[in-house]
Structure 1
Amino acid sequence: MPLVLESPAFHAQGPIPALYSCEGKDVSPPLAWSGVPPGTQSLALIVDDPDAPDPAAPRMIWVHWVLYNLPVGTTELPEDLHALPPGTLQGLNDWQKIGYGGPCPPIGTHRYFHKLYALDIVLPDLKLPTKTQLESAMRGHVLAQAELIGTYRKTR
């Protein structure tokens, strides 16, 4: 069974509700997964937007959330996550903050990639890593990856 990442709040390739954006409460969406492969020691989650700042002329990937060392027995994250699963650590998003930062595209409809990784190790404390630093630490340890893409366009 492949690793699968889903959300009860939005469907793959579908619009992310405003609640989870800068136009709403800017809270993290609920996420759930299944199919964690044998040998997995921890999970990591990265949420980013490859369409920044303008989908017609993207210049950067904007990072919205970095989580790692999620315990293997964890199968979901609730909406508006406040209490991290035991042992879970966070990195810095591109606002240079810890935690979730929701969609807030300056122009156009952007895609938001929610990427879950099954790792064969528990990573050391990377001291608030960026996405790039986390990806470097994960290199050679990814057993499986799942992706959920949602879209968002500002209404105002």
Structure 2
Amino acid sequence: MPDLDDIDRRLLRLLQRDATRSTQELAEAAGLSTSPAWRRVRRLIEEGVIGRQVALVAPAKAGLHAMAYVQVSLMDHTEPTLARFDAFVQDHDQIMECATITGSYDYQLKVVAADPEGLEHFLMRQMLPLGIIRSTVTHFVLRQTKYTTALPL
């Protein structure tokens, strides 16, 4: 586990807001010269603190107007069932997030689709026919009041 100092945290905050900043811009904003800023960012990448840099696409602008959180309870917790569900999750791009959770359900998924009918089709025609799901509860997102990928550093 790398030790993050104040400068590392400052660089990470800047990159979380805009990963397209040039090394010169990062250096100036962090109070460094260009070479040390570049070396620190490279180290953060090599140590796995920065996993990847991506473009955040607005779902509605990409034609994805429906989002839901789906809680899933599996029939059993055998290795084949878990592996099959995990493979399903990895194979379907509509599933934005998947987390194993505590409580009455085993997983929580964040799923997107073009419209509510698309979400229903995904659940009823793709996920439930797996035959390994005991039950689901779906919560449609009406309005997203906050969305961030930035960690509080």
Global fold match (TM > 0.5): no
Could you say which structure has the larger radius of gyration?
2
The structure whose residues are more often strand, as a share, is 1
TM tier, smaller: under 0.3
Tell me which of the two structures has the higher relative contact order, counting C-alpha pairs closer than 8 angstroms and 6 or more residues apart: 1
Larger helix fraction of residues: 2
